[in-house]
């Protein structure tokens, strides 16, 4: 990583962002609003959305998560005692509009949400098509949507439960701070630990629940039988197909070894590709995933180092095309 010499910024949220947030809260405080995030919910989405619904003004708002929810995320939700409405049970006519957190990409959201007005998007992703929201708070340097939400709220509004949730969002989206872009994120995280009066260790346990023996055996089996390794221009690329249930854990275990991971999994009727680029390697994964998503009648995006796409095609086809693009964009001058 290059050291830029730039000074540390004071917060990522500007007064105009707070104005947008407060005006939405004031306008819709007595109306029914749905708060949702991307398919394949992660802790950043889950914590941001639930925190927004946790302040007194938003009592009539409903926090929802679409299926499927990764078992690791379910474990954390249960442990945090976090309530959500299953998205499939939501009745369309009941709500005036939606607030979207942690994505601004249409195909990473259930199609049904486009029947409603998109009131607000709060996100930190760069490459996005946009969901056509009336208001946007998009801050790529913020590291996590949870950080943006923590900054949007007054610290007095953040309960210990909200603080714990938001801390897991920051902790996981920065990959335990290994991918933190802005060191100010750590100060916000510290403030959240202070509000909740808990230790960092607790956030770690909560964010990465231990695997069951069955999960561990399944992962070992997949690694031994369902993984191909390609070396291209000195770059180690792992290509793997695995069940959705162990996708998160599989990536976590592989990223210490491989510079690039292309993982394919099935999620409901669609195919999901995840592309992981190791920290010390330069490749814009978000752009590749956006292109592959479009190629397969879906869409994609994310961050440079951690991106994904969904589309309609066979996993083998999608993985093959992703690998072709990855190879095209690795140049011999890349650091090893
Ligand atoms: Mn995020």
**Statement to judge: residues 243 and 203 lie in one domain:** no
Name the β-bridge partners of 262: 239, 275
State the distance from the centre of ligand 1 to the C-alpha of 291, rounded, in angstroms: 20
State the distance from the centre of ligand 1 to the C-alpha of 152, rounded, in angstroms: 16
pLDDT at 193 over 60: yes
Quick check: 245 and 119 in contact, CB under 8 A? no
State the distance from the centre of ligand 1 to the C-alpha of 72, rounded, in angstroms: 16
State the distance from the centre of ligand 1 to the C-alpha of 90, rounded, in angstroms: 24
3-class DSSP assignment, residue 232: strand
Task: Give the domain extent around 268.
Answer: 213-329
Q: What is the DSSP string of 299-319?
A: EEEE-SSEEEEEESS-HHHHH
State the distance from the centre of ligand 1 to the C-alpha of 167, rounded, in angstroms: 12
Tens digit of pLDDT for each residue in 275-320? 999 988 889 998 999 999 999 998 888 888 888 998 888 999 999 9
State the distance from the centre of ligand 1 to the C-alpha of 314, rounded, in angstroms: 27
**Statement to judge: residues 39 and 185 lie in one domain:** yes
State the distance from the centre of ligand 1 to the C-alpha of 176, rounded, in angstroms: 13
pLDDT at 3 over 80: no
pTM of the model: 0.86
CATH number of domain containing 319: 3.10.310.30
3-class DSSP assignment, residue 292: helix
pLDDT band at 333 (very low <50, low <70, confident <90, very high): low
State the distance from the centre of ligand 1 to the C-alpha of 174, rounded, in angstroms: 9
**Statement to judge: residues 250 and 180 lie in one domain:** no
Tens digit of pLDDT for each residue in 98-133? 999 999 888 788 889 999 999 999 999 876 778 999
Last residue of a domain, one of 189, 207, 225: 207
**Statement to judge: residues 132 and 275 lie in one domain:** no
**Structural domain count of the chain:** 2
State the distance from the centre of ligand 1 to the C-alpha of 102, rounded, in angstroms: 5
Which DSSP state fits 237?
Answer: E
Tens digit of pLDDT for each residue in 222-232? 999 999 999 99
User: CA-to-CA distance for 222 and 224, rounded, in angstroms?
Assistant: 5
Indicate whether 307 belongs to any domain: yes
Supply the pLDDT for residue 43: 97
97-101, strands of its sheet edge to edge? 85-86, 62-65, 33-37, 97-101, 117-123, 135-138
**Statement to judge: residues 225 and 87 lie in one domain:** no
pLDDT above 70: percentage of residues in the chain: 95
Quick check: 80 and 201 in contact, CB under 8 A? no
Tens digit of pLDDT for each residue in 211-253? 889 999 999 999 999 999 999 999 999 999 999 889 988 998 8
Supply the pLDDT for residue 334: 47
**Statement to judge: residues 87 and 107 lie in one domain:** yes
3-class DSSP assignment, residue 279: coil
Supply the pLDDT for residue 275: 96
Helix axes 43-52, 71-80, angle to 10 degrees: 40
State the distance from the centre of ligand 1 to the C-alpha of 96, rounded, in angstroms: 25
State the distance from the centre of ligand 1 to the C-alpha of 108, rounded, in angstroms: 13
């Amino acid at each position: 990583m290059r050291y830029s010499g730039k000074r540390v910024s004071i917060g990522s949220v500007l007064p105009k962002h707070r104005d947008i947030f407060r005006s939405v809260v004031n306008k819709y405080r007595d109306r029914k609003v749905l708060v949702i995030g991307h398919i394949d919910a992660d802790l950043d989405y889950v914590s941001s959305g639930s925190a927004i619904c946790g302040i007194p003004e938003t009592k009539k708002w409903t926090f929802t998560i679409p299926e499927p929810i990764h078992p690791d995320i379910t474990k954390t939700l249960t442990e945090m005692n976090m309530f959500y409405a299953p998205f499939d049970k939501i009745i369309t006519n009941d709500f005036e509009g939606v607030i979207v957190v942690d994505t601004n990409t249409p195909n990473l959201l259930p199609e049904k949400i486009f029947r409603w007005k998109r009131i607000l998007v709060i996100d930190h992703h760069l490459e996005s098509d946009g969901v056509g929201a009336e208001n946007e708070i998009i801050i790529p340097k913020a590291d996590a949507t949870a950080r943006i939400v923590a900054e949007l709220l007054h610290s007095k509004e953040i309960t210990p439960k909200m603080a714990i949730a938001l801390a897991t969002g920051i902790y996981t989206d920065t990959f335990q701070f290994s991918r933190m872009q802005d060191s100010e994120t750590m100060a916000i995280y510290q403030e959240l630990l202070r509000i909740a009066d808990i230790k960092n260790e607790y956030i770690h346990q909560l964010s990465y629940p231990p695997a069951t023996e069955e999960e561990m055996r399944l992962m070992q089996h997949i690694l031994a039988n369902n993984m191909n390794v390609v070396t291209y221009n000195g770059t180690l690329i792992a290509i793997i197909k695995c069940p959705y249930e162990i996708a998160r854990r599989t990536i976590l275990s592989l990223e210490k070894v491989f510079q690039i991971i292309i993982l394919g999994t099935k999620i409901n009727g669609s195919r999901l590709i995840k592309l992981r680029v190791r920290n010390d390697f330069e490749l814009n994964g978000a752009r590749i995933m956006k292109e592959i998503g479009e190629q397969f009648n879906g869409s994609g995006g994310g961050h440079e180092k951690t991106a994904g796409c969904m589309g309609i095609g066979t996993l083998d086809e999608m993985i093959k095309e992703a690998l072709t693009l990855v190879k095209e964009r690795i140049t011999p001058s890349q650091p090893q």
